[in-house]
Amino acid sequence: MDVRATTCPVCSRVVPINRGADPNVAVNDHINAGCPDPGTSTSEKAYTNPCSMQGCSKKELVPILCQKCLKPFCIRHRLEADHKCSIAGSTPPAQKNGQSSAKTKMVSAAARQNTRGEQAAQLDKDRRDRAYRATQIRQDAALAQELQNSEQGLDKSSSSFTSQSSTNGNQCILS
């Protein structure tokens, strides 16, 4: 089955190409049929995460959620003290008992960060190992090809040497 497609240079969408048709004609037809330009209003807006702080009109590309109240905020109001978090005013039961929950949160956050770093290091090591193995396989294949070519070259030169020696009798010509 001969299925072909190309991408539109304007909108980066996939344009199907009929069997035996010219890809340039298919892309031209796509553009003439109303290809959506990525710069027009039909494209998605990037900054769609408004700040939940009353009176703030900032919008962020990536939502920054408060871990206490789970509302999205801008960079300026991301901290609990900056947006007057409604849950931040009430004291958790752990603090009433005299335990420091902030300290335990910092320790658990550091532990999570450490495991993420270890995972990233392991993934990087695995990637390097795969790349090394692929390089080694390519080098082995190239070496095998060179050995095979050199053996074929020796066979040709030895056969030409024997044919020359047989035509000249017992004389040996090395040239």
Question: Which sequence spans correspond to the domains of the chain?
Answer: 1-39, 46-83, 111-155
The region of weakest confidence among 70-74, 79-83, 116-120 is: 116-120
Give 152's pLDDT tier (boundaries 50, 70, 90): confident
Spell out where 21-90 has E strands.
49-50, 59-60, 64-65, 72-73
Choosing among 1.10.10.10, 3.40.630.30, 1.20.120.160, 4.10.1110.10, the CATH entry for 46-83 is: 4.10.1110.10
CB 74 within 8 A of CB 65: no
CB 47 within 8 A of CB 60: yes
Give 91's pLDDT tier (boundaries 50, 70, 90): very low
pLDDT average, residue stretch 49-65: 88
How many CB atoms sit inside 10 A of residue 6's CB? 14
As a whole number of angstroms, the distance between CA 79 and CA 66 comes to 7
Give 98's pLDDT tier (boundaries 50, 70, 90): very low
